[in-house]
Structure 1
Amino acid sequence: MLSKGPLTLLILIMSMFGPLSTDMYLSGLPQMVEDFGTNESTMNMSLYMFMLVLSFCILFLGPISDKYGRRNILAVTMSVYIVSNLACMFVTNVWVFIILRMIQAFGGAGAMVTSFALIKDCFKGPDRGRILSIVAVLGILGPILSPVIGTLLINTMGWHSTFLAPALVAMICLAAGLMLPGNLPVERLNGNIGDTVKRVAVVLKDRGFTRFLIMMTIFVASQLAYISVSSYIYQEKFGFSTTEYSMALAAVCIISLGVSQVILRLHLCNLKNVAAVLLLGVISTVMMFLLAEHSWILFMVSMIPCCASTIICRSFGFEILMNHHHGDNGSVSSVLNFGAFIFAFCGMVIASSFPSDLFIYGIAAVLALSCLVYLAMWIGLKRSGYPVRNLTEGM
């Protein structure tokens, strides 16, 4: 059995399997287009098809882990993840590569679901809130810092190394995961897999929960739209090298984190945080439409409010959502992650569908849609009297 310290470290590492799997090879995409003899649109399928499979695997693996235990799910999914990563290093056909990425998504989903479920299983009160806050920070750091690490690997060993490194991390997580208890800390859920999957539907039928979930995850679409096409914008439009590109992403990360922490330290009530998120999204949208095209610095600055809003949502919103339902640890974990990654998929597809010289406006379109969806869900919550536990706390 893992002690509290190693367990916390395992949870934090597993929570980052999404960005580790999607963002480390971003700066290598132009070279991969040449190596696979394909085009940018097809190459980007390796990003958003991974995200699509990841979102649906996350939805169902949570309740399955409620039935069969975190350790068993982690053992199977980490094994799949390791094998698929190693296979990605050696394929030469882009379609085989995309299929392997989809298989890899199944493995990554297992790690992420297990990490969120273990937070609710093993931590209570302030400890849970503290870990969720760290996960929130990693949620924004991961998609930005992973390309930085990936660039270092690519510059020294080529893009293939960006699949070897996550495989090695997964091996460590697999070894640590085998030390988890086979059973849940609480009594196992009864019934068959069909019954456990139906529990996801029960969670989603809670309209208040679902509306607030959409609000807290919708801006992930904008963030991942930016991530998915950023290498082409920085490197082809603004003439950045791979190293300069990774540094630009890191700068956005650090400044966004600072902005979010300033807002969070104001200790606003939850509803004022909700308003702050929308305001930041609107600022990013206006700047992206009107200013981002003119220079790389304006493009960078345009994304900072959106990335800050994503951190704020994870910091206060995910804890509210995790506490809204009791007894469905895996189901709640699955739904939370599903919302984030299905919106990430949508954002990637929309941005990638624009011509390469208009990718900035693709990001702007996703930002505008995110703001509209967020506002619509907020209006729906207000009309129904905010039926989400603790949302109106501090009013």
Structure 2
Amino acid sequence: MQSPSSPSASPEQEIRPSSTRSRKSIALLVLVLGVLTATGPLATDMYLPAFPQITQELGATEGQVGLTLTAIMLGLSVGQLVIGPMSDAWGRRGPLLVGVALFTVTSVLCVFVPNVTVFIVLRFLQGVAGAAGAVVARAVVRDLFQGDDAVRFFSRLALVMMLAPLLAPLVGAQLLLVGPWQLSFWVLAAMSALSFVLVLLWLPESLPREARRIQGPRQLASTVGTLVRDPKFVSPVLTLGLSFGMLFTYVSAFSFVSQNEFGISPQGYGWLFAVNSLAMMAGTQGNGLLVGRVDTSRRLLLGLLLALVAVGTLLALALSGVAQLWMVSGLLALMMFSVGFIMPNATVSALDGQPVAVAGTASALMGSLQFALGGAIAAMAGMTPSGEASLVSMAVVMASVAVLSLLAFVWSARSKVG
């Protein structure tokens, strides 16, 4: 059987899990899946610095332009629920190629939007199409790897995909120096076209035909029902979704908190964001180094405890009124470091016990709940008398979610014992 990294390998050839996969093969797989999973965060974050320019050019309000961000998040959530079951029924490559192609087309169309309403609709469709990369990438990893091998691969993959939120706002700001806001969408279209070529040439089918499962509405409902009744799936998914909510609360609220309560500039905020993203990358790599030495559940517990210490201390400082920027930044960096442990281990814990035939549906359900919980939790930080997030409201939400994440982990541990 030819290696998937070989240029002469047929893309239609099915590949099976292998413990002898070469380093070159794994590196190429990380590259292809990393580019796919990075597309969503880039589409979400790259155009953020251009919000004022977009508002002026389209004659829209800030709230209307903000809905374009909400639309793509909703699309990413809905798209995963649709594309996941499709990948279980028809294989991974077909739905992925269609999704990447549609993402390329919608990215180009966003360049020519006549008004904000059309922009919102296109961003929703872009999110639906972009969901293919995330959900299929996780399913492919489940097809090919298990246990510590899967965690090790997810840690490598996280290193690639986490460069996206680190670089996206910085790249978007620099693009505004050389062209209009539409340039960001040309870059997205080019990156998506590159992803299409990479998948077409170097990502063979990972789901054997005999393992595929075509499900009608009743069968799909039955599969989803089985998943949501399984504590070994639901509890790590809750851990993952709640932790993502903690992370997204930071992403959505800290820009306002840092600039309005601590008086730093937008550029200063950008650098703090970059440093904290590096802390998250360091966490994923630290987690990878512990693979084979410490089991998955203990690595996950370590991440949850570090997160609770970080945000619990942040809450205490916020309530006491003695918080300074360097303290807050250090604690947020520790929280981000802990997320680097939580994400890959919770993902593997949720998917590892599921049959390959439902990996796409399980991945879709997990991803959809992750975005839904993340968005809902982050919105709570703005539920203050002023309607704007503060350091206290941000810390209250993050600390509460950290506690709930730990409780979900305890439920998971008890379900395994039972």
Query: Is TM-score (shorter-chain normalized) higher than 0.5?
Result: yes
User: Counterparts of 1:1-395 in structure 2 under 5 Å?
Assistant: 2-3=4-5, 4=25, 5-123=27-145, 127-138=149-160, 140-179=162-201, 180-181=203-204, 184-194=207-217, 195-196=219-220, 198-234=222-258, 238=262, 240-258=264-282, 261=285, 267-269=293-295, 270-271=297-298, 273-288=300-315, 290-291=317-318, 295-327=324-356, 328-352=358-382, 354=384, 355=386, 357-384=388-415, 386=417
- 1:219 and 1:370 in contact (8 A); partners too: yes
Deviation of the 1:100 alpha carbon: 1.5
- 1:151 and 1:243 in contact (8 A); partners too: no
- 1:55 and 1:341 in contact (8 A); partners too: yes
The CA distance in 2 between the partners of 1:61 and 1:283, in whole Å, is 36
Deviation of the 1:126 alpha carbon: 5.9
- 1:283 and 1:305 in contact (8 A); partners too: yes
The CA distance in 1 between the partners of 2:383 and 2:117, in whole Å, is 19
Gaps of 5+ in 1: 388-395
The CA distance in 2 between the partners of 1:50 and 1:358, in whole Å, is 22
Task: State the Cα RMSD in Å.
Answer: 3.1
Q: Secondary structure, in 3 states, of the residue corresponding to 1:112?
A: helix
Q: Secondary structure, in 3 states, of the residue corresponding to 1:324?
A: coil
| CA pair 129-375 structure 1, distance change in 2 beyond 3 A | closer
Deviation of the 1:367 alpha carbon: 0.5
Identify which range, 84-93 or 291-300, moves more after superposition: 291-300
Amino acid in structure 1 at the alignment position of 2:311: S
The CA distance in 2 between the partners of 1:136 and 1:260, in whole Å, is 7
What is the count of residue pairs matched by the alignment? Answer: 387
TM-score by length of 1: 0.84
Q: What is the percentage of aligned positions where both structures have the same residue?
A: 25
Q: Which has the larger radius of gyration?
A: 2
The CA distance in 2 between the partners of 1:283 and 1:32, in whole Å, is 37
The CA distance in 1 between the partners of 2:119 and 2:417, in whole Å, is 45
Once the two structures are superposed, residues 121-144 of structure 1 have per-residue CA deviations (whole angstroms, 9 ceiling, x without a partner) of 234566533321122334544323
- 2:312 and 2:399 in contact (8 A); partners too: yes
| CA pair 262-68 structure 1, distance change in 2 beyond 3 A | closer
Identify which range, 40-49 or 145-154, moves more after superposition: 40-49
Residue in 2 aligned with 1:391? none
Amino acid in structure 2 at the alignment position of 1:369: S
The CA distance in 1 between the partners of 2:254 and 2:183, in whole Å, is 21
Deviation of the 1:384 alpha carbon: 4.0
Amino acid in structure 1 at the alignment position of 2:166: I
Gaps of 5+ in 2: 6-24
- 1:282 and 1:371 in contact (8 A); partners too: no
Residue in 2 aligned with 1:392? none
- 2:90 and 2:214 in contact (8 A); partners too: no
- 1:85 and 1:167 in contact (8 A); partners too: yes
- 1:219 and 1:310 in contact (8 A); partners too: yes
The CA distance in 1 between the partners of 2:97 and 2:286, in whole Å, is 40
Q: Secondary structure, in 3 states, of the residue corresponding to 1:218?
A: helix
Deviation of the 1:221 alpha carbon: 0.9
Amino acid in structure 1 at the alignment position of 2:317: L
Once the two structures are superposed, residues 342-395 of structure 1 have per-residue CA deviations (whole angstroms, 9 ceiling, x without a partner) of 2222234334555465343443243033123214323433554545xxxxxxxx
Deviation of the 1:275 alpha carbon: 4.9
- 1:281 and 1:305 in contact (8 A); partners too: no
TM-score by length of 2: 0.80
Deviation of the 1:168 alpha carbon: 0.8
Amino acid in structure 2 at the alignment position of 1:206: D
| CA pair 302-96 structure 1, distance change in 2 beyond 3 A | farther
Deviation of the 1:40 alpha carbon: 4.3
| CA pair 97-228 structure 1, distance change in 2 beyond 3 A | farther
Once the two structures are superposed, residues 195-247 of structure 1 have per-residue CA deviations (whole angstroms, 9 ceiling, x without a partner) of 34642332222023201221133111121222234444445655555543322
Q: Secondary structure, in 3 states, of the residue corresponding to 1:91?
A: coil
Amino acid in structure 1 at the alignment position of 2:75: V
Once the two structures are superposed, residues 277-331 of structure 1 have per-residue CA deviations (whole angstroms, 9 ceiling, x without a partner) of 1342342244156349855434423422321222101232222322111222212
- 1:48 and 1:348 in contact (8 A); partners too: no
The CA distance in 1 between the partners of 2:49 and 2:381, in whole Å, is 17
